[in-house]
């Protein structure tokens, strides 16, 4: 691997990796001065393509809110699907082609009333969720996807993600 390649690899690493959102310690986030959590929907809190919310994820979201943390959903999904989750969870949502672009995260932070240093991003994809967060200096947490059923282009990205993440594990 040449120097340029290594630099890109380092840039796209998440700050933390967990099996699911429920493993994220909310007390620790508060201690670090985090006031707002931006959360991806598909494969992070819901199985891909399903209008169904993972029970442990819903419980974690409820706990976050009861501790006074703000939560905003951020999804590249279309409006009707995104709004279904927003209504079901009683959470604000920023949707459309918003990741990995900075403006999507900025909109979510405006909703939350937070800045990059008081926000975390939680999602299952390196090239959307994590990359966008990195571009703004937002602490990023990568979760393992809830289900294997995904768009073909996402499956292709997964192979590359595994390559990049595997590289770090080896070093």
Q: Are 74 and 105 in contact (CB under 8 A)?
A: yes
Peptide bond into 131 cis (omega under 30): no
Give the contact letters, 55-94, x = binds to Mg ion (CB under 5 A), - = no: ----------------------------------------
Q: Which is nearer to Mg ion, 92 or 127 (CB)?
A: 127
DSSP string covering 117-132, please? GGEEEEES-IIIIIHH
Q: Are 75 and 41 in contact (CB under 8 A)?
A: yes
List the one residue from 38, 42, 57, 86 that touches Mg ion (CB under 5 A). Answer: 42
Segment near Mg ion (CB under 5 A); pick from 14-22, 32-40, 81-89, 132-140: 32-40
Segment near Mg ion (CB under 5 A); pick from 49-57, 119-127, 136-144, 158-166: 119-127
Segment near Mg ion (CB under 5 A); pick from 24-32, 83-91, 120-128, 135-143: 120-128
Contacting residues for 84 by C-beta, under 8 A, at least 6 apart: 51
List the one residue from 14, 29, 43, 104 that touches Mg ion (CB under 5 A). Answer: 43
User: Helix, strand, coil: what percent of the chain each, to 5?
Assistant: 50, 15, 35
List the one residue from 34, 36, 37, 40 that touches Mg ion (CB under 5 A). Answer: 40
Q: Which is nearer to Mg ion, 76 or 118 (CB)?
A: 76
- In whole angstroms, the minimum distance from the beta carbon of 107 to Mg ion comes to 18
Q: Which two tokens stand for residue 73?
A: 């959903």
Give the CA-trace dihedral at 62, 139, 36, 25, to 10 degrees: 30
Distance CA 94, CA 122 (A): 14
Q: Is 124 in the site for Mg ion (CB under 5 A)?
A: yes
The site for Mg ion (CB under 5 A) is made up of 40, 42-43, 124
């Amino acid at each position: 691997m040449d120097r340029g390649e290594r630099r890109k690899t380092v840039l796209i690493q998440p700050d933390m990796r967990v099996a699911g959102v429920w493993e994220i310690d909310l007390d620790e986030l508060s201690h670090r001065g985090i006031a707002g959590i931006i959360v991806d929907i598909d494969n992070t809190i819901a199985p891909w393509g399903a209008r169904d919310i993972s029970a442990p994820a819903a419980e974690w979201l409820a706990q976050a809110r009861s501790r006074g943390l703000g939560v905003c959903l951020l999804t590249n999904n279309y409006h009707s699907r995104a709004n279904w989750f927003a209504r079901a969870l009683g959470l604000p949502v920023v949707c459309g082609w918003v990741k990995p672009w900075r403006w999507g995260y900025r909109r979510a932070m405006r909703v939350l009333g937070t800045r990059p240093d008081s926000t975390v991003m939680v999602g299952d994809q390196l090239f959307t969720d994590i990359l966008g967060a990195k571009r703004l200096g937002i602490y990023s947490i990568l979760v393992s996807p809830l289900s294997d059923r995904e768009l073909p282009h996402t499956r292709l990205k997964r192979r590359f993600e595994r390559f990049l993440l595997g590289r770090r594990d080896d070093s």
